[in-house]
Structure formats: C-alpha cells, structure tokens
Chain A
C-alpha cells in the first residue's frame, strides 16, 4: 500500500512526517539534528531511501547529510563547495563589485536517473553537481561565468540559487532560478546557459524589462508537459509555454500577486497552486486569511480556504515550502513560518494541520512511496 513521507526543514532541525495513503493520521519523527537550521531536504526519485539534507548556520557553516535508509540514520558527506573558476565579482547591495563567497546550500535536486548524482543550488549563486552521492562537488561554472554574472545582485535573503528543475523528458535541459538575477536554462547538461526572462517586468529595476535582475521566487513544471513553466516572481505570477523563451502574466484575480511558492497538480499539468502574500513589505497573507489559490492555467483563481485559518493569520510560506504528492486524489502540502504543516488529501479542497508547533518551516518535500 502506498504511503507518503514529508521531509520538513525548519529553523531548528529536520522532521519526517509519514502517513498511509489516506493521509489522515500522521507520525512525526524528529527533530533530527535538533537546534540546527535545515534549509532543504530532498530524496532521490531513483532511490527513495536516499535523502540529501542541507544544514547551514553562521556557527558551523555548511554541513551536508545523507541518509540511505529513509532518514533513520545519517552520514555527513563532503561540505566543500569550491568555485571552479577564479571567483569574479557580482554586485553588492550598494552597487559595488563584491567577490563571490560560498555561504550555504539552498536546494538539492537529485538527478532523475542516477541516485548518486545530485545538484546543489548555493549562495553566492552557483550550481554544483555531485556524481558520487555527495562525496565530492564540482561547480558547473559556466553559469556563474555567464557574461551577466557581474550584474547579479542579492535580494535581502542573499544572492541565492534556490530552484533547480530538470526536464524529465530531457535531463540535459536544466532550469535554475536565482534571486535576484532571474531564470536561466541550459540545454546541454549545464555546460552553457541563457537567461530566459523575456516578458518579465520588475518595477524595482531601472529598466523593468531588463534581461537580468528579476527576483524569481520559484518556478515549477509538470513532467508530462515540461515546456510549460509556472513562476511566482517577487511580484507577478507568470507562465511560459515555450520552455521559458516567452513569459506572460497570469495573476488575474489573485488578491496579491506577491508570494513565494508555486506548484503544479501531480496529474493535471494545467492545475496550478499559489499562496498569495500581502506584499514585499508585509510578508503575511492578505487580510490575515491563509488561502491557497488554484487555477486551470492561470488568470481565474479559486480561493481554497476550508480548514485554513481565515482570521488573524500572519505567517509566511517560503519558496521551498510547498509540495504535491502523486496519489489520486493529489495531495498538496505546505509549511509556514509559524511552524504549521498543512495537508490537503483532496487536491486542495480541504485542509488540516499535520503539526502546528514546529519551528519555522523552511522547506517541505513529499515522497510518494509504494
């Protein structure tokens, strides 16, 4: 019988939440590494028992943990992320050149074919790859060495490469999103990269339609239609139907088009979910109402509120903190900075809190296990 396993990264440790396919009763395991921040955990789709986890703080720096038994035990693997080419400079907050410095891993993306291969998106923005299960890391340096690299600038959260999508129909095609540089695509396994930002507008830029400088918060795709991408940008929800060559806004009737997460239904590539946040100055839901919005393709959005707090709610939901399972009906999950992890076992129609009092949630990934 199928079951689901949530991998939850928080400010004070990692948690593993499991349930059977009914998704009504949950077991909570953790904290793993209690007291330490975990930006992200993600399992290999090839070997679901293999999990990569990013522990990162200002005391001890970056530690990479790997589990080969579904999170029961962990080993520390290599935590050295050395830039492959001579570090150049990117823009600093005051506009001056600033040398690239490794700070942390924001996101692990295990390869869809090889369990020993995993990509790491890091701050200062760069993409690393391991082909030995994390025993060593090599930078795919042509991304950072892109001619635009000196123009990249950090958002308030740092210059971070936080999203990695691998096209399941063509693993040589990789998308990455960087705050605040934009979104890039490689069609050759990361050897060369091009910005794919045509159609994006960011009013905080001197030239709102500039090729570089957009604060892309998250992108998502459906494996059955990988040329269609959905994006939650600093402001604006966007869509591309040509692998990012052109983008159009689909914010439509959302109460706010600011937010961090975006995800796609597991069985319908047209059904997309976002969670609006009031503004870039007020990182909580509009009107204190926690609402997920669902749409068929965008523009016309339906508020999903059943089981979610509809008053006095002032949490945030961060960019890696939403995930969908592969059961039928599709399950949707998200975690909040208030420590709640909410689950819907009916495609978002109704919700319940699995846990309410975890540390602030940084990331949520779900595994559907046979």
Chain B
C-alpha cells in the first residue's frame, strides 16, 4: 500500500486524516498515485492537478524520500520505498503569509 500525505485543506475536503493508504499498481508513479487518489476521493479531482490528468497545480509540490519530484515526468517511477509504503508520497502546498 502506498502512503499519501495531503495538505490540511485537502484532508478536510476528502474527509481523511493526515495520511491515507492506497493500492497502486506497479510501477508506482506520481500519475498512478493521483489516479488512485482521485478514484477513491473524487472530490479531490481538479485540486492537485487539472482535470483529466492534467498538469500539477502550480502552488503544490510532490515530495518523497527527501526529494522533490514535482518537476519529474508524472509517469516516472518513484523510489521503491514509496512503492513499498516505507516512505510517504507527500502533496505539499506552497507556504504563504496573509
């Protein structure tokens, strides 16, 4: 099971806690995680990436294993530790004041 951490407001929108688990087919990629996430929680469609598997929203980033995968191709395989559920795939919102 892949572990996913969402920003606070998306946790509330989806009605989940700080971390959720998803079944994702190998090879585990950002696109496949988001596909599984949106299938399980359709209210998240359009909030992390554009509808229809479109681009990541500009103010969000994808982190895992201490690395930023935001600018990697969405179909690029993620580290084995993410696929094994040892490390979470994190959707992180840009910091901001105001």
CA distance A262 to B48 in the complex (A): 37
Complex Cα spacing A272 to B37, Å: 50
Given known A-B contacts A76-B13, A80-B51, A82-B51, A59 and B7 have beta carbons under 8 A apart? yes
Tell whether, in the assembled complex, residue B59 and residue A59 are in contact, meaning their CB atoms are under 8 Å apart: yes
**Would A59 and B57 be within 8 Å (CB), given that A33-B12, A82-B51 are in contact?**
yes
Question: In whole angstroms, how far apart are the Cα atoms of A59 and B60 in the complex?
Answer: 7
Decide yes or no whether B9 CB sits under 8 A from chain A.
yes
B53 within 8 A of partner (CB) = no
Kindly state the interface size class of chain B when it binds its partner.
10 to 19
The yes or no answer to B46 lying at the interface (CB within 8 A) is yes
* Residue among B8, B9, B57, B60 with max Cβ neighbours from chain A (10 Å): B9
Among A33, A35, A59, A61, which residue has its beta carbon within 8 angstroms of that of B46?
Answer: A61
- A-side interface residues, number (CB < 8 Å): 13
| Interface contact B93-A63, CB-CB below 8 Å | no
Residue in A closest to B41 when the chains form the complex, CB atoms: A76
Which of chain B's residues have a CB closer than 8 A to the CB of A33? 9, 12
Of A59, A79, A82, the most chain B CB neighbours within 10 A belong to: A59
Contacts of A82 in B (CB 8 A): 51
A76 to B94, CA, bound (A): 23
| Choice from B12, B51, B94 contacting A59 with Cβ under 8 Å | B94
> 20 interchain pairs (CB within 8 A)?
A33-B9, A36-B9, A59-B7, A59-B9, A59-B57, A59-B60, A59-B94, A60-B47, A60-B57, A60-B93, A62-B46, A63-B13, A63-B46, A63-B47, A76-B13, A79-B45, A79-B46, A80-B46, A80-B51, A82-B51
